[in-house]
A and B are shown apart, each in its own frame.
Chain A
Amino acid sequence: NAGVTQTPKFQVLKTGQSMTLQCAQDMNHNSMYWYRQDPGMGLRLIYYSASEGTTDKGEVPNGYNVSRLNKREFSLRLESAAPSQTSVYFCASRRLAGGNYEQYFGPGTRLTVT
């Protein structure tokens, strides 16, 4: 099992450019998440998908869109990148184990917007 994979690992964009961050999981989990991590701010939820075909906004959704392509894949799109979107982006999936939810994270995408 590869777990949760993310591509690319690093990306530099200019202001106004667009890009899609890819995420896939091979654990057959229903729920998937996108977070951003900034110094001193911890992990903040951007969007999540409780199951295939559904998506919902998290704490900081402005400037992003998502697509739950199928059960395995959940992508995050920046339509017009801004310097404020410079961050590390993590994708995660979740399972229910022993009555508790457990999240599994990918290795992250480090995005710089100049």
Chain B
Amino acid sequence: TQLLEQSPQFLSIQEGENLTVYCNSSSVFSSLQWYRQEPGEGPVLLVTVVTGGEVKKLKRLTFQFGDARKDSSLHITAAQPGDTGLYLCAVTGTASKLTFGTGTRLQVTL
């Protein structure tokens, strides 16, 4: 059983559309991170959310941490081809080790 379940696994949309991806768990976390991984590269940290109900914005990306700190969502407005990649959520567990979800693979086409 995965600690972090991400959905959907795959998403293919056209430029200009909006989308939301989810990261869910039955456990409570003190913080949660989102990373983006472009093809052929390593993951890059986008944001850390720490407070239940917190909303953070990064240009066209909006991140929300659930009130109970068990889940999170990432909303992209007016997607662009440059948003293509694998979106990973991650939480810090024992011994400060990161555990990653399996990711949502996003393809944005012209």
Query: Which A residues lie at the B interface, using CB under 8 A?
Result: 4, 31, 33, 40-45, 48, 50, 56, 58, 90, 92, 94, 99-108
B92 touches A105 (CB 8 A): no
How many residue pairs, one in A and one in B, have C-beta atoms under 8 Å apart?
A: 51
Judged by DSSP, the binding face of A is strand
A105 touches B102 (CB 8 A): no
Residues of A within 8 A of B41 (CB): 107-108
B50: interface (CB < 8 Å): yes
Identify the interface centre among A42, A45, A50: most chain B CB within 10 Å of its CB. A42
A100 touches B48 (CB 8 A): yes
Residues of B within 8 A of A104 (CB): 45
A42 touches B102 (CB 8 A): yes
Of chain B, the residue at the smallest CB distance from A102 is: B45
> Within B7-65, which residues are at the interface with A (CB < 8 Å)?
31, 33, 40-45, 48, 50
A101 touches B102 (CB 8 A): no
A42 touches B100 (CB 8 A): yes
